[in-house]
Structure 1
Amino acid sequence: MKKKRITIGKIIAGILALIWFLVTGGPFYFMVASAFKEQFELLTAGVFSMPKGLYIDNFKEVIESNFPHYLLNSIVVVSISLVLILLTASFASYPFSRFRFKLNTPLFAVVVAAMAVPIHVTLLPVFELTQKIGLYDSIFGLVGPYTAFNLPISVFILTSFMAEIPKELEESAEIDGCGKFRTFFNVILPLSKPGLATLAIYNSVNMWNEFSFALVLTQSPESRTLPLSIWEYQGQYTANIPLIMAVLTFCAIPMIAAFAIGQDKLIKGMMAGAVKG
């Protein structure tokens, strides 16, 4: 009876996994397959039909356009923002997770409450602030909002991660003569690499695909990031779908590569703290 239940459980899990694969893999297949089609082939053939041939002119046209400049802008913005997020989150999470002081709980409550603030509510004040400090229509004007709005959840996750690090390691470092700073850099931070890797991938995906702030805080093509590059391939009444799919394929490649490289640390970071003892 128990063996039969296990078999039924495996069948149900397999069916759910297949459904999940179709739901997530279907759009990805449509994107890649459409990128290799001519514009009218997409309209005349079936939506999910295989391309008649590998029509690579779409990719050539994307590369020869302003796409490389948009790609560079996204890389610069995401890289700078990610470094600031990880550094600030690390410095904030250490005292939240290891020290006990009067304002620990109230300050951490503020961090948690900040996670509930809708991004769109802040678009107007952020726009006015960016204009006043002279960063409007500059890729560096995106760094502040990207860092600020991804920081609360990063502090929340990293605090939980650091709290699971055994205190005996910290005490051993103090016995050896390490102060709080050396303990942080030599013990806590190295052991937090899985958590930092999780935050790096999670935040990178969010910032890489971010559209609202990029639309509001930039205007000229020189300051556009990848989510805005699609505008270049659509008119007022028409859109070149295969070209847009080629752009989206190029946009997805860096994130897929980042996940493939850091998936082991990502899984460790997600599972950290799930089991105690």
Structure 2
Amino acid sequence: MAKAARKSGFSVKSVVIPVLGLFWLAVTTLPFIFVVMMSLKTQNETYVNPVWALPESFNLSNYIDVLKGSFLIYLRNSLFVISVSVVLIVLISAMAAYALARLRFRLSGALFGLIVAGMIVPLHVTLVPVYLMTKSMGLYDTPAALIGPYVAMSLPISIFILTEFMRQVPKELEEAALLDGCGPFKVFWKIFFPLSGPGLSTVAIYNGIMLWNEFVFAYVLTSSPDKRTLPLAVWDFQGQYASNIPAILAVVTLSSLPLIIVYAIGQEKIVNGMMAGSLKG
């Protein structure tokens, strides 16, 4: 029987894997579908109709009300903070990874270990010192106050990922560039930075997704509604629309859409980058 199953191309794996994939697809998409459905309902429908009932009409009034408020200000602040933070994270971690991976200097191994150890430090224990530092620098209650903490807490894992990539760049390329008269800085920009493209994409997308959802630092380091980022929109709109569940879920949907779009576009780069790093390492 087993031989007959192999001849026909049937195997348990060919059945189990698709079933598990469909199950995981349902687990991940049903909550979002539920949120979108609820956001299209009127306030009266949420109390009268069953929870999973479809909206009686394609009602966009909740979205219109949210967009007329301060939602776009939150979105603007998030785009500014995340864009600047991700660019700085990629540049700083790439240069640090190059130095740790290819430049020979005393205590390079100890320094790499110290950086990696930063991954196990609970980030929230730094809230008080970061808050005091932000106040003393005059950056409190500005979007710029979030950039420093975001970059700092993202560097350890970013440097760890990129160091493994840059260690696998062939030495022959580096030696050829040095023979042509390139210095270490030019070697980095001309060879290591372009060849680390999969790792750089992984670092950028991973950190962008993580920082987009960051709440605690944004809550502690900002206080004015026009200076806060998108994760705090749900918090603030919850008070404004305390009894209007569809409006709150409209905020949740709008906050999630940019993240979903970016991840849908960049998920292949994340997977390829992680696979490349694991194969090379």
* TM-score category of the 2 structures, normalised to the smaller one: over 0.9
CA distance, structure 2, for counterparts of residue 30 and residue 84 of structure 1? 37
- Give the % identical residues: 48
How many positions carry a matched residue from both structures? Answer: 277
> Among residues 103, 108, 111, which one is paired with 1:107 in the alignment?
111
Matching residue's letter, 2:37: A
TM-score computed with the length of structure 1 as normaliser: 0.93
Instruction: Report what 2:193 is aligned to.
Output: 189
Matching residue's letter, 1:129: M
Bigger Cα displacement from structure 2, 142-151 vs 119-128: 119-128
Instruction: Report what 2:91 is aligned to.
Output: 87
> Among residues 30, 36, 43, which one is paired with 2:40 in the alignment?
36
Instruction: Report what 1:132 is aligned to.
Output: 136
- The answer as to 2:273 corresponding to 1:263 is no
Instruction: Report what 2:165 is aligned to.
Output: 161
Q: How does 1:1-277 map to 2 (within 5 A)?
A: 1=2, 3-4=5-6, 7-235=11-239, 238-276=242-280
Residue 165 (structure 1) shift: 2.0
Residue 267 (structure 1) shift: 2.6
Tell me the alpha carbon deviations over residues 241-274 of structure 1, each in whole angstroms, 9 at most, x when there is no partner.
2112211211122222222333343232111133
* Residues 157, 52 of structure 1: alpha-carbon distance in 2 compared, 3 angstrom cutoff: same
> For structure 2, which runs of at least 5 residues remain unmatched after alignment?
none
2:205–2:263 contact (8 Å) kept in structure 1: yes
Provide the alpha-carbon RMSD of the alignment: 2.0
Bigger Cα displacement from structure 2, 105-114 vs 14-23: 14-23
CA distance, structure 2, for counterparts of residue 158 and residue 239 of structure 1? 47
TM-score computed with the length of structure 2 as normaliser: 0.92
Structure 2 residue matching 1:234: 3-state secondary structure: helix
> For structure 1, which runs of at least 5 residues remain unmatched after alignment?
none
2:161–2:277 contact (8 Å) kept in structure 1: no
CA distance, structure 2, for counterparts of residue 41 and residue 158 of structure 1? 51
* Residues 237, 187 of structure 1: alpha-carbon distance in 2 compared, 3 angstrom cutoff: closer
